[in-house]
A and B are shown apart, each in its own frame.
Chain A
Amino acid sequence: MNIQASSEILDGLVLSLLTKQDYYGYAITQEIQHSIKISESTMYPVLRRLRNKKWLTTYDQSYQGRNRRYYRITDEGITHLKEILIAWQVYQKNLNQIFRKVEIPPIREKKGSQHD
């Protein structure tokens, strides 16, 4: 059983990660995969969208004779991240109003009959 992350949540996770340091593509996927299950092909469109929205920028650095593209959060990205975090707080609070009150009832045994 998995709860699916929406694209807003994925945006928020990537932007949060980038507040610590700049990351390259594969490392971002790895870090996010520590927390939620995403497929290997998820990150490219997310990063492309974030770059199109100017929430992050990229720069290239050579690594072992090849190129590595690093992603860095922009000021607009930080502003957007704040919005996501606020929306997330509200969302979490609202859902917890229901979840926290739940008392798991005991499972009723089936008596072989479908009628109740």
Chain B
Amino acid sequence: MTKSDYMTSLKKHLTQLTKAEQDDVIEFYTEYIEDAEFKTESEIVTNLGTSKQLAHKILADYSIQAIENDKDQVQPASSKSKLKLIWMILLGILSTPVTIPGTILAIILFSIVLIIVAAFTLFMLALILSGFLIGVSTLYSGIVFLFLQPFTGLFYLGVGLTSTGIALLIIYISLRVWQKLLTSVIHSVHKIYQKFSHHQSSVKEAI
């Protein structure tokens, strides 16, 4: 593998970025490697990491700067793009050569957070589903009874509409909570990442 192979491979791992951003990265590191006079692939890898590790670090930094810009914006990012940010920072952490206990700790923290988010999502889904089931079934009985016993029918219709309304309300609340939850996950992930980044050389020394 030569210098240009390293760059080709680096670019391949940066497909999430725009063409201009990719070119900027490639230009910077091509120049950097020339100036640093790294001759062989192993020299490049020793100093910059493998092309995949370097790409993950760059992507994680892009995500973090996106979060920082996001703080100033009125329009919040969508849940999907937030999940993508979390994933990119996670890759960045994992590709940073840190001590094994550090990595394990990070993985455990992430698992716990993911489990909490998943449990919350499931719980809310169950609530919404049961709300709708009760709502629809009582509405149905309400309509049927309306012709046989009008007052019982009206009662059932009322109960049905109320529980459908509650289910809709829960959907709204859980969406809001979910957004908040994701935002706080991103910020905590961001903090963890900052602990690990920038300082590979000092970590190496500590081992």
Which A residues have a C-beta under 8 Å from some C-beta of B? 2, 4-7, 10, 24-27, 29, 37-42, 44-45, 47-49, 52, 66-69
Contacts and interface: CB of A to CB of B under 8 A. Distances in A.
B27 interface: yes
Q: Which 4 pairs show the lowest CB-CB distances between chains A and B?
A: A26-B35, A45-B61, A2-B202, A39-B200
A40 to B, nearest CB: 5
Nearest to A2: B202
Given A4-B199, A26-B32, A39-B199, 8 more contacts: A2-B199, A2-B202, A41-B49, A44-B25, A45-B61, A48-B24, A66-B34, A67-B31
B48 A41 contact: yes
16 contacts: A4-B199, A7-B198, A25-B32, A25-B35, A38-B198, A39-B199, A40-B32, A41-B200, A44-B25, A44-B28, A44-B29, A48-B24, A48-B61, A66-B34, A67-B27, A69-B28
The binding surface of chain A is classed by DSSP as mixed
The binding surface of chain B is classed by DSSP as helix
A2 B199 CA distance: 9
Given A25-B28, A44-B28, A45-B58, A4 B35 contact: no
Contact of B201 (A6, A38, A68, A69): A38
A81 to B, nearest CB: 19
Contact of A69 (B25, B31, B57): B31
Interface string B20-53: 0000110111011011100000000001110000
B202 A25 contact: no
A25 B31 CA distance: 8
B54 interface: yes
Contacts of B24: 48
Contacts of B201: 37-39
A27 B39 CA distance: 18
B48 to A, nearest CB: 5
Contacts of B205: 2, 37
Contacts of A44: 25, 28-29, 32, 58, 61
